[in-house]
Amino acid sequence: MKKIYSLLLLTVVILCSCDNNDDNSNVIDSTTVTLNLQGKLSSPESEFTGVFKDEPVGSYSYKNTFVDQTGYFVFDSYVTSYSSFGGGFTYTNKTDKTTTGYTNNSAITGTGKLSATYMTVNPSAYSTDKFHFAGNLSHTIKGMYVTNSTYAYLSMKNGDNIAKKFVDGDWLKLTVTGLDAQGNTTGTVDFYLADYRDGKKILIDQWTWVDLSALGQAAEVKFSMTSTDNGNWGMNTPAYFCMDGFTIEL
């Protein structure tokens, strides 16, 4: 009798275990992919400037398209007739934290967050202010690391021949917008790269995680920058920032 009871109990346990396994098999763990630029530059203190031949944009600029090492992130970069970065997106391993001016595309940190190579972004109506995903697919956005470029940081800290030194009340804001396949907004996130409001003296000089989950699922990601320092031709503060570790869900 004890053997029969034990056999019945074992059968119930096995059936319960099978039911639990079936339930768990319907749960799919999310998989994330992170922007990877490691190995795309073979020389130190260099950057991607593209080639002056692919797709002409106006008289002095050409558009070059590149993909990161994962194959998921697709960017457009603009090269000028002087073979230099002319806007949009580029990647660099430069470590220069002291040279002023637009020719220095280094991050103020002097290195990337996840590897030596990271991205510098110059969103502009004259180049591009957004990137998309391979295959024109949509993905759920997780977040990214950002910091100031050396150019923008030193301009805000000390002023230059165009922009003023930041004082009480000034700010530089990065706005990240998700867009669906039809160009509709899926969400927006604001992040202050500099914030001198209400007695604060924040000037970002470290890699800082920005949660972008509010963007939801997007086909494109758009960047725009606004500042309290503006003139007749638009924003005086350099419209540059650096990005690393942009992460999506598959």
Q: Are 101 and 217 in contact (CB under 8 A)?
A: no
pLDDT at 62: 86
158 phi/psi in degrees, rounded to 5:
-120, -15
- Report pTM: 0.86
Using CA atoms, how far apart are residues 65 and 69, in angstroms rounded to an integer?
Answer: 14
Tokens of 214: 């509010």
- pLDDT value at position 80? 81
pLDDT at residue 61, rounded to an integer: 78
Distance (Å, rounded) from C-alpha 145 to C-alpha 194?
Answer: 15
- Report d(CA 56, CA 109) in Å as an integer: 33
Spatial CB neighbours of 7, under 8 Å, sequence gap ≥ 6: none
Give mean pLDDT, residues 134-156: 98
Average pLDDT for 193-199: 98
- Rounded to 5 degrees, what are φ and ψ at 40? -80, -15
pLDDT reported for residue 124: 85
180-188 mean pLDDT: 98
Residue 197 has pLDDT above 90, yes or no: yes
pLDDT bucket at 52, cuts 50 / 70 / 90? low
Work out the percent of the chain whose per-residue pLDDT is above 70: 83
Taking only the tens place, the pLDDT of each residue in 11-25 is 333 333 333 333 333
What average pLDDT does the chain have?
88
Q: To which residue do tokens 């470290």 refer?
A: 206
Q: Comparing 18 with 85, which gets the higher pLDDT?
A: 85
Report the C-alpha gap between 35 and 121 in whole angstroms.
14
Distance, CA of 8 to CA of 1 (rounded, Å): 11
Q: With bands split at pLDDT 50, 70 and 90, how would you rate the model's confidence at 176?
A: very high
pLDDT at 54: 56
Could you give the percent of the chain with pLDDT greater than 90? 76
Query: Domains of the chain, with CATH numbers?
Result: 31-249 (2.60.120.1350)
Query: How far apart are the C-alpha atoms of 16 and 232, rounded to whole Å?
Result: 73
What is the predicted pLDDT for the residue at 216?
Answer: 98
pLDDT band of residue 170 (cuts 50, 70, 90) is very high
> Which of 6-15, 22-31, 108-117 has maximum average pLDDT?
108-117
In this prediction, residue 9 carries a pLDDT of 36
> In this structure, how many other beta carbons lie within 10 angstroms of the beta carbon of residue 195?
17
Residue 219 has pLDDT above 80, yes or no: yes
pLDDT tens across 86-106, in order?
899 999 999 999 999 999 999
Q: Whole-angstrom Cα distance, residue 59 to residue 153?
A: 30
Q: What is the dihedral of CA 59, 61, 63, 69, to 10 degrees?
A: 170
Please state, in angstroms and rounded to a whole number, the distance separating the CA atoms of residues 16 and 180: 43
